[in-house]
Structure 1
Amino acid sequence: MVRKMQLPLQTANLIVGFMVWVLISSLMPFIREDIAIPAGKLAIVTAVPVVLGSILRIPLGYYANVFGARVIFLVSFIILLFPVFYISAASSFTDLIIGGIFLGVGGAVFSVGVTSLPKYYPKEKHGLINGIYGMGNMGTAISTFAAPVIATQIGWSMTVKLYLILLLIFAALNFFLGDKQEPRVKSSIVEQIKGVYKNEKLWFFSLFYFLTFGSFVAFTIFLPNFLVDYFALDKVDAGMRTAGFIAVATFIRPVGGWLADKFQPLFLLMGVFSGITFAAFILAFSPAIGLYTVGVMIIAFSAGIGNGVIFKLVPFYFNKQAGIANGIVSMMGGLGGFFPPLLLSVIYSITGSYSIGFMAFSQVALASLIFVVWLYYMDRLSLQKEVFNSTAQGIIVTDTKGHIKAVNPAFTTLSGFTESEALGKNPNMLSAGRQSPEFYKEMWEVIGNDGQWQGELWNKHKNGEDYLEMLTIATVKDDSGDIVRYVGTFLDITPE
């Protein structure tokens, strides 16, 4: 029963963590009425919680494996009581910065669930499970929508104090309902980092999540004030529109995870980055509110799918180092939400327009699309190499002049010749001399006419012993139909 509770409990934990994480940005239009914040520093205040919320994802992902999700969520919610109370009494820009830094713990808890939950389910469901957990992103939508509504009734300071009650409730829920028997992984954090940092896939996934989750966080932070300042919407309307963006990105996330369970994840990411590239290009032209909404919704849809797909890929490729890999990738996603608002703010202060910033966003998405395509084909080549090296049949690849270009390990096992001894030589180095010239002439005539030949012949092992083999030779042609390679596969069928 306790194990079955973990998915709904940890998803609810993430909702609460994210509600707290965006507390300042959700209430910023109200806070600015009481606390003077220079326009040039506004983006800093709203982005600061993202920094710690990103960096802490590495240790929290690691310690989720060491101590279990129950302990990490419980401790995190207790810690969050202090910055939330401090912000409720804030009276200066400095107070908001100090409190905002420690609000980052709310965003850091993301790496706890993506490390813990896959332990309870088979691999073919990891995409869907992490996608459902990722719906905890809706915590940002809840705060963005509900906090301004409540603040209009009781003020922003009392609204912040309500979060203290929520944190206490969920600290208690984790104490009583968290899984005390969760499997632990206690390898050194240094050993885990050494096990992943040289794998280029980790950094590709980090870049992809930097863009997908980063765009989700960035627009969540950026939109409330942008819609008020640029389109002159009222604060509640801006909050509702931002909540709509968050809701789309959140509810589509498990769909992305489910699709990644069913189809090739990298192929899905091609569609994701194509969508983001197109949408950011639209926003770069500063359209009216209608077209602007279309562009933002495309980003919400694409980012949601991408977020679900990426956390299918991470545990698949980093099963033994899931905690640290999840932490690093999710950290980069959080940082992806930190830099864009600052960059847009700086560009706007220099040019008076956000166009250059959105165009840069479009180009980063395009570069990510190119990387995904490259990674997709590298994966296919890697698979082909694995098949080539693991097959029990000996394989020889030659050019059209008969020079050996490649052999597999089974070739060495069956013939005794190493790869270095075979490369550049002619396959007749293996001949036992038992076949007549007419035999080879007929064989090559069949290959020329049919593109393939199969039969038995005698060859010689490196140690001088003859052996009978079943040999198949096939031609490899280019797009114009010209032969570019010959591939021979053989098995030792010598009678005993």
Structure 2
Amino acid sequence: MIKKVQLPLQTMNLVLGFMIWVIISSLLPFIKEDIDIPADKIAILTAIPVVLGSILRIPLGYYANVIGARLVFLISFVLLMFPVFYISEASSYIDLIIGGLFLGVGGAVFSVGVTSLPKYYPKEKHGFVNGIYGAGNIGTAISTFAAPMIATQIGWSLTVKLYLILLLVFIVINIFLGDKHEVKVKTPIIEQIKGVWKNDKLWFFSLFYFITFGSFVAFTVYLPNFLVSNFELDKVDAGLRTAGFIAVATVFRPVGGWLGDKFQPLFLLMGVFSVYTIAAILLAFSPSIMLYTIGCIVIGISAGIGNGVIFKLVPFYFNKQAGIANGIVSMMGGLGGFFPPLLLATIFSITGQYSIGFMLLSSVSLASLVLVVFMYYQDRLKLAQEVFKSTGQGIMVTNTAGTIVTVNPSFTQLTGFSEDEAIGKTPRILKSNRQEKAFYDEMWKCIQKDGMWQGEIWNTKKNGEVFLEWLNISAVKDETGEDVRYVGTFTDITEHRTNEGNQS
């Protein structure tokens, strides 16, 4: 029973964490009426919670493995009560900066669920499960639209205090429904970091999440003001359109995870960044409100799918270091939500428009597309190398001149010749002199005619022992049909032939 409720429980924990994470930006119009906030400091104030919310994702992801998600969520919610209360009593800009910094704990809890929840499900469901959990970022939308409505009735200070009640309720729920017996992983954090930081995939995923989740946060923060100032929409209309963007991105996150379970995730990311590249160019030219709406919705769909796919890939490639890997990738995503709003604000103050910012997004998306393609072919090459090295058959590859260019470990095991001893030589190093020249002439006629030959042949090992092998030789051709190399695969069948002779 307890294990079955972990997905809905931890998803609701994330909803609450994200609701608290954006308290200040949600209530900023009301807070500004009581506290003097310099106009040039507003972007910094709304971005400050992202800083700690990003950095803390690494230790929270790690400790989710060490002490379990139940305790990490409990401790996080207890800690959040202090900045929430402090902000409710704030009377200065500095108070908001201090309280906002520690609100970051609410955003940091993201790495807890993506580390914990895959333990309860088979690998083929990890994408969908993490996608469902990630949909908890709908908490940002809930606060963005519910908090102002409540504040108009009771004021912003009391509205913030209501979050204290929610925190207390969830503390109690987690005490009773959190899993006390979650599987723990207690590898020291330094060892886990050493195990992942040199892996280029970690930094590729970090870049991809920096773009997909970062753009989600950036659009959420900047859209209301942009739609009002650029298209002269009223605040309610702008708010509803922003809500639509958040809803689309949130709904498509579990869709992305589910698609990642069903299809090749890297193909999906290729599609995501292709769409990003085109949509960002569209937005850069500030089209009509209709085209702009379409562009934003396309970005929202792509962001949601991309976010879901990435957290299908992370536990797949970093199963033993999932906590620290999830923490680092999600941290970079959080930072991706910190820098774009500041960058867009700076670009707008200098140029009076956002076009350059969108063109930068398009350029980074195109670079990411190239990296995903590179990862895909790198994985295919790695798979081919693993098959080459692990197969039980001996493999020898020669060029068209008959010079050996590579051999696999099984070749060495079967013949006694090491890789260094074989490369640069010809297959004659194995010749036993038991076959006549006519045998080899007929073999090569068959290869030239049919592109392959197979049959029994006697060869000699390095130690002089003669053995019978079953040999397959295939010609590898280029686009013009010319032979460029030959691949020979063989198996020692001496013992098998001896057994047959004894039986007869």
TM tier relative to shorter chain: over 0.9
Measure the CA separation in 1 of the matches of 2:371 and 2:218.
Answer: 22
* Aligned match of 2:128: 128
Between stretches 169-178 and 105-114, larger displacement belongs to 169-178
* Aligned match of 2:311: 311
* Aligned match of 1:337: 337
* Aligned match of 1:278: 278
The structural deviation recorded for 1:216 is: 1.1
* Aligned match of 2:91: 91
* Aligned match of 1:168: 168
Task: Kindly provide the amino acid, as one letter, of the partner of residue 21 in structure 2.
Answer: W
Mapping for residues 356-367 of structure 1, pairs under 5 Å: 356-367=356-367
* Aligned match of 1:63: 63
Mapping for residues 36-51 of structure 1, pairs under 5 Å: 36-51=36-51
Mapping for residues 263-412 of structure 1, pairs under 5 Å: 263-412=263-412
Q: CA RMSD in A?
A: 1.2
The structural deviation recorded for 1:294 is: 1.1
Mapping for residues 254-269 of structure 1, pairs under 5 Å: 254-269=254-269
TM-score by structure 2 length? 0.96
Percent of paired sites with the same residue: 74
Measure the CA separation in 2 of the matches of 1:244 and 1:329.
Answer: 26
Deviations 1:172-227 (A, max 9, x none): 11111111111111111101101111111111111111111111111122223333
Measure the CA separation in 2 of the matches of 1:98 and 1:231.
Answer: 35
* Aligned match of 1:190: 190
Mapping for residues 215-254 of structure 1, pairs under 5 Å: 215-254=215-254
* Aligned match of 2:501: none
Mapping for residues 412-491 of structure 1, pairs under 5 Å: 412-491=412-491
The count of residues paired between Structure 1 and Structure 2 equals 496
Segments of 5+ residues of structure 1 without an aligned counterpart are none
Deviations 1:31-70 (A, max 9, x none): 2333332332211111110010000000000111111111
Between stretches 212-221 and 451-460, larger displacement belongs to 212-221
* Aligned match of 1:141: 141
Measure the CA separation in 2 of the matches of 1:232 and 1:23.
Answer: 26
Task: Kindly provide the amino acid, as one letter, of the partner of residue 346 in structure 1.
Answer: T
Task: Kindly provide the amino acid, as one letter, of the partner of residue 154 in structure 1.
Answer: I
The structural deviation recorded for 1:152 is: 2.6
Measure the CA separation in 1 of the matches of 2:229 and 2:308.
Answer: 32
Specify the SS of the correspondent of 1:398: strand
Residues 1:293 and 1:34: Cα distance change in structure 2 (over 3 Å): farther
Task: Kindly provide the amino acid, as one letter, of the partner of residue 163 in structure 2.
Answer: Y
Residues 1:213 and 1:166: Cα distance change in structure 2 (over 3 Å): same
Deviations 1:57-110 (A, max 9, x none): 000001111111111111111111111122222232212211110110000000
Measure the CA separation in 1 of the matches of 2:68 and 2:267.
Answer: 34
The structural deviation recorded for 1:158 is: 2.3
Specify the SS of the correspondent of 2:491: strand
Between stretches 283-292 and 70-79, larger displacement belongs to 283-292
Residues 1:229 and 1:92: Cα distance change in structure 2 (over 3 Å): farther
Specify the SS of the correspondent of 1:252: helix
The structural deviation recorded for 1:444 is: 0.5
Residues 1:244 and 1:300: Cα distance change in structure 2 (over 3 Å): same
Task: Kindly provide the amino acid, as one letter, of the partner of residue 129 in structure 2.
Answer: I
